[in-house]
Amino acid sequence: MEHDIRKLWNTKEDAKTEIPKNHRADFLHKLEHQNKKQKGFRGNTILKIAAAVAIVLVSAFFYLNANTTIEKTPLQIQLAAIENEYLTNIDKEWQGFIEVAKDTVLVKKYKIKMRDFDKDYQKITKALEKSPNNINVLEALINNLQRRLELVKNIKEHIKELNQKNTSNETIYL
């Protein structure tokens, strides 16, 4: 069954078939029609992509909104009030300490201690977010705030005593 391919194409039957006169026009018409289909496909694809992006954005918006509107329990509200009160008192006492303190080395030393307390506070706050009803974590948070406030108050009192001794010594020597 072996054949020479060149001989198959040299048959006269193929030469007898003629192309219709409007073949070129039909071909161009079909080509234009195909191009229109492809352009429509691109437009539809862009619309589909835009719709998918819109759906993702709307879903993300509702998801984020749902997570941020979590209602706080009465315990969490009370804890937030206590935290706020302690933090304002700590800040007020610290500012008073800085006004009274004249020794920059002492200020730096206690600033480092306060940063350590603040790092512990941040860790405890993260633990509290994970388990908000854990009494041990709540006690640790309040204890941290109390120690910070006591530290600042003690420092401030110590500075006042030192300043009073210095002024009393000056009056004695004069």
Please tell me the distance from the alpha carbon of residue 122 to that of residue 129, in angstroms, as a whole number. 11
Angle at CA 72, nearest 5°, toward 128 and 150?
Answer: 50
Please compute Rg for the chain using Cα positions: 42
C-beta separation of 131 from 137 below 8 A: yes
The confidence score (pLDDT) of residue 84 equals 85
Q: What is the pTM of this model?
A: 0.47
Angle at CA 121, nearest 5°, toward 115 and 123?
Answer: 110
pLDDT above 70: residue 148: yes
